Chains A and B, each alone.
Chain A
Amino acid sequence: MFSRLRSLAVTLSVLRSMRVPEITSWILSRMDLPLLAHRTESAFTDFKLPLMRGEAIAEATRCLFCADAPCIAACPTSIDIPQFIRKISTDNVHGSAKTIFESNILGMSCARVCPVEVLCVGACVYNQLEQPPIAIGKLQRYATDRAFAEGWEFFEAGADTGKRVALIGAGPASLAAAHELRRLGHACTIFEKRATVGGLNTTGVAPYKMKSDRALTEVEWILSIGGIEVKTGVTIGEQISLADLEREFDAVFVGVGLGSDSALGIAGESLAGVHGAVEWIERMKLEHLDLRAVQRVVVVGGGNTALDAARESLGLGIPNVTMLYRGQREVMSGYSHELDAAMSEGVRIEWQSVATSFGGGNRVERVECMRLDESKRPMEGGAFVLETDLVLMAIGQSKLHAMFATLPGIAFDRGSIRVNADGATGRRGWFAGGDCANGGKEVVYAAAEGKRAAHAMHAEMMGGHAHA
């Protein structure tokens, strides 16, 4: 995997003693690392097809241009949805894209990856009429794809303020924050531990929604505003300390997302063929996996990552996909529209069941399972076995809070960095947003929180409160 492509180990000790400005010029920016041509994810095509011009105009004309529109209220980035849709209906696609990006610079990927069924589309007044709601996501894709294809430019960097901001992690939260900070005239440096940028938008999103090359195209497009340095292969807290960052920059934005997949702590977890789902998805998206021998998959968990992993497995031609979920349908955290899709595609689900151990020789061969009763106790005679070639564990991701615990003033809520409504932590100059602060939501929340924090950082830095 190319995040490990170039070991930085040799330089580690040297780097640790250096001040940040030297480091930033030292480390190669590896944004231009090419993606593998034959990635496993390449097998997928888009589940939601793009609209042609005539379809887009017809759909846009259906929109009522509601006053105080509920769809806007349901969008975490408050895109003026009726306005951008109206502009599609008048063939003013340029203006439409501008309206979208003004509110959400990740509008292109959000058009593909947002769970619109529970956000804007779910709020559309047409649902009240029991008529198909407006296809807001598809219309947003129509306008933003066109903007990318035509190379339209909408934004300029603000007049230089002389302030410098460090952003930890190159995921959606940091990208949105950095772009907004540049519009306000601040210099930005993003530190990313991986070789690839874009965060989970590049490494996690289901490829039938968006593939990694598209996510990288978006990053490039965001960075085209200029003045955002991206340093890949740098783990903050390892190569560069938090104290160094605080000393060298006027403000710091923490957008580190979540940590690695959680483990169950049961026997057999280290067998070959047992993977964390997020880790496996990342490899599926960036590498070429040999899945020829895989006929059966067991996915453990009931969230959206579990549903994604199950649908992806089926889509890759694995005939036998079973999910193990400890609760009932009603309490499942995965979206019901995703669950319905997974079940209609042929994913089997063992409800109210848990894995008790994994067995096999060199590789995993079976999962020992137990059915639970209403009060989550093992049922008498509830033991059963699932034969399998692959296990994907999707029971959550760890929280990356440990390293920040050393900074007085930064507090946590159940492992997430505690921030106020503006994204400020309890420590002056430190802001956070996205999965690491909201506990793990969606790209559009990360975009909203990053942008909001940018304005709060701006206010703090320009208000003369910036620390020395």
Chain B
Amino acid sequence: MPDLRTNTGGIHSPNPFWLASAPPANSGLQIQRAFEAGWGGAVWKTLGIPIQNVSSRFGAHTIGGVRGAGFSNIELITDRSLDINLREITETKRLFPKHPIIVSLMVETESEWRDIIKRSIDAGADGLELNFGCPHGMCERGMGSAVGQEPTVNERITGWAVKHSSVPVLVKLTPNVSNIVPHGMAAQRGGAHGVSLINTIKSIIAVDIDRFVPEPRVGSMSTNGGYCGAAVKPIALHMVAALARERDFKLPISGIGGICNWRDAVEFILLGASTVQVCTEVMLRGYGVVEDMIDGLEQYMRTHDFSTIDQMVGKAVPACGEWGELDLNYETVAKIDASKCIGCQLCVAACHDGAHQCIHPVEGTRVPTVDESECVGCNLCQIVCPVEGCIELVQVDNGQARASWNEHMTEGKPIRPKKGAH
């Protein structure tokens, strides 16, 4: 039986699946139900100064009929009183002592940070998460992503939190920056024990084209919101990997952004996350989704002979490089398996209009043919082909030794001539 226990910066969890700081982690009873359903830990909905929320708050991006493939919100931090939240943290810890509760915080001055940290730890917090990420509402007040976008401010506030905390401190990073690395490094310099990323991405999810107002609509107005859900996973994966690859960055990572199932979680872990956090998928379908995450992960670990999560963490990081390091002499061509082809010719259209005009219809059959001398191995045809395993990209032995662009420029290694007339 694989061991799912994890340690993220000194926060121990029975499994890597945490609720992200968001509506599913809004109250004690919710989190208790989540733990019963199998969630390993929870990051409590951000506590801070009292706020007032608006109606409505959420918008959804529908892609190909899938509602909520992308999701957006203009909600702020918790709108429940601090006293009630702290009492519920204590009660939940009493009922679930082995499940870590990480309390997300967002306040302004050092004394506010000191007070709220003390009260959170007294209530039973196993760790803290500093919310430097919220892209709407709070940043206008000098908090949230306003902090996360300024490495020096981030470092200073992280320093305060670490100084006043006796439990591990995670810094939650905003993706609304052009390069995530300086922000992770700032958290590290501030003394953080780990980072969580990503928070939501600045966005306008949709426009109501009959009322001429963006969504979510608050009366006759709207504002930019935070984008999250399945559609943001590629952005989050990149940011997690960018930090994991950075030689000087040593902190553990809690990965967040678009995680919907066990496979998404595995991808984050392979790129360097030791825990993963989920918000939108739980908002859309409830806590029950964790069952698939857990037994899918276990089965994956069995098939790949991993016995602990640690053995998986970062396993794909060494394979993340710069473009200049890729082998320019590695050559592939598309091959169509005629026995599987159903003759839809999507590959013909894609190759002709969107690639290199080298898949051609053949007289007397619906099965197209690839002109391998022209095929550049872009794999567009494989992506559009509806039949699994019908188009494969097969390596061609062109007799050329490995040569990257960097090697070509610095050592003069020969690279193969450009292929194809198009």
Contacts and interface: CB of A to CB of B under 8 A. Distances in A.
A92 B388 contact: no
Given A83-B292, A87-B292, A92 B299 contact: yes
A95 B286 contact: no
B188 to A, nearest CB: 34
Contacts of B292: 83, 86-87, 90, 92, 95
A94 B291 CA distance: 12
Interface in B19-44: none
A381 interface: no
A94 B295 contact: yes
Contacts of A98: 295
Contact of A90 (B263, B286, B386, B388): B263
Q: Give the size category of B's interface with A.
A: 10 to 19
B262 A90 contact: yes
B14 interface: no
Contact of B288 (A53, A83, A90): A83
Interface in B291-309: 291-292, 295-296, 299
B261 A95 contact: no
A87 B300 CA distance: 13
B295 A92 contact: yes
B263 to A, nearest CB: 6
Contacts of A53: 388
B289 interface: yes
Interface string A165-202: 00000000000000000000000000000000000000
Nearest to B302: A94
A129 interface: no
A214 B291 CA distance: 30
A92 B261 contact: yes
B281 to A, nearest CB: 10
Given A86-B292, A92-B292, A98-B295, A67 B261 contact: no
Nearest to A95: B295
Interface string B271-291: 000000000000001101101
B285 A65 contact: yes
Interface string A73-90: 000000000110011001
A87 B299 CA distance: 12
Nearest to B263: A90
B254 to A, nearest CB: 22
Contacts of A86: 285, 289, 292
Contacts of A65: 285-286, 288-289
A53 B386 CA distance: 12
A54 B299 contact: no
A86 B291 CA distance: 10
B296 A95 contact: yes
A90 B261 contact: yes
A95 B387 CA distance: 25
Contact of B388 (A54, A67, A94, A95): A54
Nearest to B298: A95
B298 to A, nearest CB: 8
Contacts of A91: 263
Interface in B94-108: none
A94 B299 contact: yes
Interface in A67-119: 67, 82-83, 86-87, 90-92, 94-95, 98-99
Given A54-B388, A92-B261, A87 B285 contact: no
Contacts, number: 43
Contacts of A54: 386-388
Contacts of A83: 288, 291-292
Nearest to B284: A65
Contact of B299 (A82, A95, A99): A95
Nearest to A91: B263
Nearest to B285: A65
A91 B263 CA distance: 9
Contacts of B262: 90, 92
A99 B261 CA distance: 16
Contacts of A67: 286
Nearest to B303: A94
A53 B285 CA distance: 24
For A82, A83, A87, A99, the residue with the greatest tally of chain B CB atoms inside 10 Å of its CB is A87
Nearest to A99: B291
A82 B295 CA distance: 15
A87 B296 contact: yes
A67 B286 CA distance: 8
A98 B285 CA distance: 21
Contacts of B386: 54
Contacts of B299: 92, 94-95
A200 to B, nearest CB: 33
Interface string A24-66: 0000000000000000000000000000011000000000010
Nearest to A92: B296
B291 A95 contact: yes
Contacts of B296: 87, 90, 92, 94-95
A67 B299 CA distance: 26
Interface in B380-417: 386-388
Contacts of B261: 90, 92
Nearest to A88: B292
A197 B196 CA distance: 57
Contacts of A95: 291-292, 295-296, 299
A95 B301 CA distance: 13
B336 to A, nearest CB: 17
Contacts of A99: 291
For B262, B285, B292, the residue with the greatest tally of chain A CB atoms inside 10 Å of its CB is B292
A99 B262 CA distance: 16
Nearest to B387: A54
B64 to A, nearest CB: 11
Contacts of A82: 288
Contacts of B291: 83, 87, 95, 99
Interface string A353-385: 000000000000000000000000000000000
Contacts of B388: 53-54
A262 to B, nearest CB: 47
B308 to A, nearest CB: 20
Interface in B180-197: none
A90 B262 CA distance: 8
A157 B224 CA distance: 57
A15 B260 CA distance: 62
Interface in B335-392: 386-388
A99 B387 CA distance: 29
Nearest to B286: A67
A91 B297 CA distance: 11
A187 B386 CA distance: 51
Contacts of B387: 54
26 contacts: A53-B388, A54-B387, A54-B388, A65-B286, A65-B288, A65-B289, A67-B286, A82-B288, A83-B291, A86-B292, A87-B292, A87-B295, A87-B296, A90-B262, A90-B292, A90-B296, A91-B263, A92-B262, A92-B292, A92-B295, A92-B299, A94-B295, A94-B296, A95-B296, A95-B299, A99-B291
Given A54-B387, A86-B289, A92-B295, 11 more contacts: A53-B388, A65-B286, A83-B291, A86-B292, A90-B261, A90-B262, A90-B263, A90-B292, A92-B262, A94-B295, A95-B296
Please provide the 8 A-B residue pairs with the shortest distance between their CB atoms, ordered closest to farther.
A95-B295, A92-B296, A90-B261, A94-B299, A87-B292, A65-B285, A92-B292, A90-B292
